[in-house]
Chains A and B, each alone.
Chain A
Amino acid sequence: TQLLEQSPQFLSIQEGENLTVYCNSSSVFSSLQWYRQEPGEGPVLLVTVVTGGEVKKLKRLTFQFGDARKDSSLHITAAQPGDTGLYLCAPSNDYKLSFGAGTTVTVRA
């Protein structure tokens, strides 16, 4: 059974600060996707990482995939209130996604 952990569970920061959320597992992922979900809406895909050690940047968001493909991190620089939401990591194996519990990020103006 794949164990997937996201940390921290909750994160509240001031606008302009940086933050990092983590996604860790005991299993190797073929690929991993990061989503952001706002209340009452479906998740929106942010990025897919596939290669161990891969780093992808999306404006102020930096995604890293661990060398062993068991962990990933999302770093947000100079967070803005619009970054508020539930951040979910979802490894993909056999085309099915297994979602972590998520990190609820609140950016205060």
Chain B
Amino acid sequence: GAVVSQHPSRVICKSGTSVKIECRSLDFQATTMFWYRQFPKKSLMLMATSNEGSKATYEQGVEKDKFLINHASLTLSTLTVTSAHPEDSSFYICSASGRRGGGTDTQYFGPGTRLTVL
């Protein structure tokens, strides 16, 4: 079964509004969560890495004031796309890293959120 959930799965918003995407690890404590962006027919691009209780580390070229990440607990991270514009339309995927059942650290991916900015 799914171990990482994302909400919402799809969102359509008007240009200039902000959108919040939630990522939850369902049956384990995620020490680290990652946010990716994927364009059509392209691979995943890492946007940022977040650890619970600390500031996110953003990849080069990703605007931290544009993409706000909060990792408030070991099971929840949120990505807020502020003042969204049509070029922010994309598929956003989170992953959570932690140990399930005493195994090694593995990244488990959420189902993704399709953001469309009109």
Contact = CB atoms under 8 A, between A and B. Distances in A.
Tell whether A pairs with B.
yes
Interface of A: 33, 35, 40-45, 48, 88, 95-102, 104
Nearest to A42: B109
Which label, helix, strand, loop or mixed, suits the secondary structure of the B interface? strand
A41 to B, nearest CB: 5
B93 interface: yes
Given A42-B93, A88-B44, A101-B43, A96 B109 contact: no
A97 B43 contact: no
Q: Which of B42, B105, B106, B107 has its CB near the most chain A CB atoms (within 10 A)?
A: B107
A48 B106 contact: yes
Contact of B110 (A42, A48, A96, A100): A42
B43 A88 contact: yes
A45 B108 CA distance: 7
Nearest to B111: A42
Nearest to B9: A40
